[in-house]
């Protein structure tokens, strides 16, 4: 089948009344002069749309109804894009799951969303017998289901419409404004919202050849291969050289707070901070290129509204957000649970303050903890002087327990009752760090108690 025929079938599928998100993503991908990504080695593979058409036919012949949830267990690369295109063409919901997940976590995610089928390498399709029926709710079917990073527990499945995803892509690209010949080399997992929306979708629709390499290999590839634009979490940037970062035309750093020495390094680059959550597609705000004056800066709203409201916890303000980028809701096997909105506003759980017309993070509401005397502790501002070397825990304890990373800071002090700092091994920090680079305070507290 030709690419023109593929475009025609997209129009037919988009008019399916059971799909609420319209044809915009279908039509835009089909109308591109070509649609291809490079292999991890940098080799071109040609236009992917005819391969996608064959796989879409296989999905329909398997009896999958529009809106059925198809878990796609494929690594970043051409096969991943073929799976996405095929699901769009067949009007089934695309649910990417990182192949590196342990089998028990993969099975948990299948159960959590009521998967109808699983797609694995070689276009191998396995049906889940009890879940082959139509599983959308009165809201319609999401185009994509992405799991949160799980920084405060197990990842939750979030249903996203094409409209929300494309709103993030288009509004962010309008600010970033990279040219069609922009070379993007990345490593972010496309099964996560940051990589899926801002690296993959924005790359497919706006950039030149898009190449994704395994994270372990990325520093070497990045140093030896020209790249114009980068999307990254802070932890990876610590492995990249200043010269390589400064040659970039632009990029976005997100997924975790940026502070201390890394923040100062980035002030000499064209990189900018980005903030968001899976629940908002995931983009919500951006800083300016090279704007790194404040630790934990979040930037200014892009394509949405953001305000602060007094939190239920006295003395703190919480970030609220509303706009077309908001998700449909959290996914259950037989329904979509709408986001808990307050007059249309998503209560993000992030504490913040205003600085330079933007926002600076003050941690999360669910990171606050009480000591056994009832004193409430917000650990994030207390950790800032120690440049990521100190994490504070102590929920329910008689005093705050500082955990040290790398070395014990000289002249350590806190304005709250605290125990002597405990130096924790690298294995501890690895175990409580999420894929985006955040250290989960909840995991750290549990691991410390267990040890």
What is the chain's mean pLDDT, rounded? Answer: 88
Alpha carbons 298 and 256: distance in angstroms, whole number: 10
Cβ atoms of residues 142 and 331 within 8 Å: yes
- Write out pLDDT tens, residues 233-278: 998 999 999 999 999 999 999 988 898 899 999 999 999 999 999 9
Alpha-carbon dihedral sign for residues 95, 98, 103, 106: negative
7 to each of 12, 156, 216, 230, how far by Cα in Å? Answer: 9, 34, 38, 31
Give domain limits for the chain.
3-135, 163-328+338-365, 368-450
Q: CA Rg, the chain, in Å?
A: 22
**Listed residue (2, 5, 10, 84) closest to 47, CA to CA:** 2
* % of the chain at pLDDT higher than 70: 90
Block residue for tokens 């997100």: 254
Q: What is the pLDDT of residue 223?
A: 95
**Listed residue (44, 109, 37) closest to 73, CA to CA:** 109
**pLDDT band, very low/low/confident/very high, at 376 (cuts 50, 70, 90):** confident
Block residue for tokens 């490593």: 187
Q: Of the CATH numbers 2.40.10.10, 3.40.50.12780, 3.40.50.2300, 3.90.420.10, which one belongs to the domain with range 163-328+338-365?
A: 3.40.50.12780
**pLDDT band, very low/low/confident/very high, at 150 (cuts 50, 70, 90):** low
Residue 402 has pLDDT above 70, yes or no: yes
**pLDDT band, very low/low/confident/very high, at 8 (cuts 50, 70, 90):** very low
3-state secondary structure 260-284: HHHHHHHCCCCEEEEEECHHHCCEE
Q: What is the pLDDT of residue 320?
A: 96
Q: What is the pLDDT of residue 209?
A: 86
Instruction: Give mean pLDDT, residues 356-366.
Output: 90
- Is residue 36 classed exposed, middle or buried when 0-12, 13-18 and 19+ CB atoms within 10 A define those classes? middle
DSSP labels, 283-308: EEEE--TT---STTEEEEESSSEEEE
Residue 415 has pLDDT above 80, yes or no: yes
Please state, as a whole number, how many other Cβ atoms lie within 10 Å of the Cβ of residue 286. Answer: 25
- Write out pLDDT tens, residues 72-110: 999 999 999 999 999 999 999 999 999 999 999 999 999
Instruction: Give mean pLDDT, residues 37-57.
Output: 95
Q: What is the pLDDT of residue 274?
A: 97
Query: What's the residue count for the chain?
Result: 451
Cβ atoms of residues 380 and 259 within 8 Å: no
Helix axes of 78-90 and 3-14: crossing angle, nearest 10 degrees: 50
Strands 376-377, 341-342: parallel, antiparallel or unpaired by DSSP? unpaired
Q: Between 315 and 176, whose confidence is greater? A: 176
Instruction: Give mean pLDDT, residues 62-78.
Output: 96
Alpha carbons 303 and 159: distance in angstroms, whole number: 19
DSSP labels, 91-154: TPEEEE--TTS-HHHHHHHHHHHT-SEEEETTTEEEE-GGG-S---BTTB--SEEEE---TTSS
Residue 22 has pLDDT above 50, yes or no: no
Q: What is the pLDDT of residue 436?
A: 65
Q: What is the pLDDT of residue 313?
A: 65
Cβ atoms of residues 297 and 355 within 8 Å: yes
* Per-residue burial over 95-125, b = 16 or more CB atoms within 10 Å of its CB, e = otherwise: bbbbbebeeebbeebbebbbbbbbbeeebeb
Q: Between 54 and 366, whose confidence is greater? A: 54
Block residue for tokens 């109308």: 31
Q: What is the pLDDT of residue 3?
A: 43
Give me 16's structure tokens.
Answer: 């399916």
Residue 386 CA from chain centroid, whole number: 27
- Write out pLDDT tens, residues 106-131: 999 999 999 999 999 999 999 998 65
Q: What is the pLDDT of residue 134?
A: 47
Alpha carbons 425 and 440: distance in angstroms, whole number: 16
**Listed residue (382, 352, 357, 379) closest to 442, CA to CA:** 379
Name the phi and psi angles at 301, rounded to 5.
-60, 140
**pLDDT band, very low/low/confident/very high, at 439 (cuts 50, 70, 90):** confident
Q: Classify domain 3-135 by CATH architecture.
A: 3-Layer(aba) Sandwich (3.40)
Give me 250's structure tokens.
Answer: 């632009």
Strand partners, 71: 95, 118
* % of the chain at pLDDT higher than 90: 69
- Write out pLDDT tens, residues 184-231: 999 999 999 999 999 999 999 998 889 999 999 999 999 999 999 999
Residue 4 has pLDDT above 90, yes or no: no
Q: What is the pLDDT of residue 152?
A: 42
Residue 5 has pLDDT above 70, yes or no: no
Q: Between 284 and 313, whose confidence is greater? A: 284
Angle at 182 between CA 176 and CA 185, to 5 degrees: 100
Instruction: Give mean pLDDT, residues 413-422.
Output: 91
């Amino acid at each position: 089948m030709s690419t023109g025929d593929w475009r025609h079938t997209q129009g037919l599928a988009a008019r399916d009344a059971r799909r609420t998100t319209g044809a915009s993503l279908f039509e835009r991908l089909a109308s591109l002069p070509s649609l291809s990504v490079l292999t991890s080695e940098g080799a071109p593979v040609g236009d992917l749309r005819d391969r996608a058409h064959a796989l879409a036919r296989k999905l329909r012949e398997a009896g999958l109804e529009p809106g059925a949830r198809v878990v796609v267990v494929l690594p970043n690369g051409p096969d991943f894009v073929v799976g996405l295109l095929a699901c769009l063409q067949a009007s089934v919901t695309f649910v990417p799951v990182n192949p590196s997940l342990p089998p028990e976590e993969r099975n948990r995610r299948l159960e959590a969303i009521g998967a109808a089928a699983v797609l694995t390498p070689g276009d191998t399709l396995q049906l889940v017998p009890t879940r082959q029926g139509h599983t959308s709710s009165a809201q319609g079917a999401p185009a994509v289901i992405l799991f949160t990073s799980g920084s405060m527990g197990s990842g939750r499945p979030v249903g996203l419409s094409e409209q929300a995803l494309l709103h993030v892509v288009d509004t962010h690209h309008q600010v970033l404004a990279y040219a069609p010949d922009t070379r993007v080399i990345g490593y972010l997992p496309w099964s996560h919202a940051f990589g899926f929306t801002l690296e993959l979708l924005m790359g497919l629709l706006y950039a030149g050849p898009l190449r994704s390499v395994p994270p372990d290999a990325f520093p070497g590839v990045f140093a030896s291969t020209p790249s114009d634009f980068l999307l990254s979490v802070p932890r990876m940037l610590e492995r990249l050289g200043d010269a390589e970062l400064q040659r970039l035309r632009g990029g976005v750093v997100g997924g975790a707070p940026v502070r201390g020495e890394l923040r100062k390094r980035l002030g000499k680059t064209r990189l900018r901070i980005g903030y968001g959550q899976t629940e908002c597609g995931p983009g919500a705000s951006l800083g300016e290129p090279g704007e790194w004056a404040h630790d934990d800066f979040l930037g200014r709203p892009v394509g949405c509204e953001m305000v602060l409201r007094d939190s239920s916890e006295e003395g703190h303000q919480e970030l609220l957000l509303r706009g077309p980028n908001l998700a449909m809701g959290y996914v259950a096997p037989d329904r979509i649970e709408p986001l808990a909105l307050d007059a249309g506003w998503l209560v993000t759980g992030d504490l913040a303050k205003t600085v330079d017309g933007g926002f600076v993070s003050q941690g999360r509401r669910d990171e606050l903890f009480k000591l056994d005397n009832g004193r409430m502790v917000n650990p994030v501002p207390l950790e800032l002087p120690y440049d990521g070397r100190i994490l504070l825990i102590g929920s329910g304890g008689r005093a705050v327990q500082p955990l040290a990373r790398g070395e014990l800071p000289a002249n350590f002090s806190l304005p709250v009752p605290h125990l002597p700092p405990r130096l924790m091994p690298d294995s501890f920090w690895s175990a409580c760090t999420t894929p985006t680079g955040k250290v989960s305070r909840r995991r750290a507290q549990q691991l410390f108690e267990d040890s």
